[in-house]
Amino acid sequence: MSEQDPRTPDVAANAPRPAPPPRQHYPQPLLPRNARNWMMVWYRNYMVWKKLAIPSMIGNLADPMIYLFGLGLGLGLLVGEVHGVSYIAFLAAGTTASSVMMSASFESMYSAFSRMHVQRTWEAIMHAPLTLGDVVLGEILWAASKAVLSGVAIMLVAGALGYAQFPGALAALPVIVLAGIAFASLAMIVTALAPSYDFFMFYQTLVMTPMLLLSGVFFPLEQLPASAQAATQVLPLAHAVALIRPLMLGRPVEHGGLHLAVLAVYAVAALLVALVLLRRRMLR
């Protein structure tokens, strides 16, 4: 068979091309559809985590335990008592709150970013009848669950060593849950804006570390200048510490309604902002 004459028009090349398929859009409803949907996202993350549960728990507990025993036993010999209790008991309650912040934030940043951007797990999930709101809420509640696990573990260790008053300390559990949701929602905003893993260092250095030092975890807020004390009133960790510490030490909580309201506002507002930013990112 002879080759085609180059002067002969190529019919196949000149044939009209089919129109490209319409761009894939993710489900438009922003808010979660129902509890079953986001619970399935939570359960999916749990099944993956269960395979590496022990190393994950050790990693989450190592840092706060080092703070608790390293600073508590070391500085405790120099400081003595703070607010009528030993320094390590004072620090144990603050470490419980800070571990909630750390665990929830890291899960919402590094792990959620991997599932969203690197592994593209979110896109696969949203091919099912789930909205972006279902996925994000499931991720946030999963991060909060890990934060609760971390906070409760430290609380139990503190109670076993006599640094927390049981069963009264169990009243701090709802606060730990709410704080975990608030910190996970705030970190999800950072995830929505992050182009890579390196971006999270800005949040850790510029937000989490100052909040850790200025929220009464390591020393009473009364030791700060008046201007710094006023600034701590907008820090969610300061309100979490103000609730968890007296509950663990068996003391009355002052301004409990205000502290709960601040944490609730952070949780809801940050969740809504994260949903808007993530939808804008996923629809690019």
CA angle 234, 165, 239 (to 5 degrees): 5
SS3 219: coil
Six-digit token string for 60: 């989450």
Q: Which residues contact 2 (CB under 8 A, 6 or more apart)?
A: none
Ranges of each domain in the chain: 52-282
What percentage of the chain has pLDDT greater than the value 90?
Answer: 56
pLDDT in tens, 126-135: 888 888 999 9
Structural element, H or E, at residue 44? helix 35-50
pLDDT of residue 202: 95
pLDDT of residue 7: 52
pLDDT of residue 58: 78
pLDDT of residue 94: 92
Quote the CA–CA distance of 61 and 147 in Å, as a whole number: 10
pLDDT of residue 15: 53
SS3 146: helix
DSSP output for 70-131? IIHHHHHHHH-EETTEEHHHHHHHHHHHHHHHHHHHHIIIIIHHIIIIIS-HHHHHTTSS--
CA angle 66, 232, 74 (to 5 degrees): 25
pLDDT of residue 19: 55
* Strand ranges in the chain using DSSP code E only, listed in sequence order: 81-82, 85-86
pTM here? 0.85
pLDDT in tens, 50-81: 888 888 777 777 777 777 777 777 777 677 78
Q: Give the residue ranges of the chain where pLDDT is below 70.
A: 1-30, 77
pLDDT in tens, 147-187: 999 999 899 888 888 888 888 889 999 999 999 999 999 99
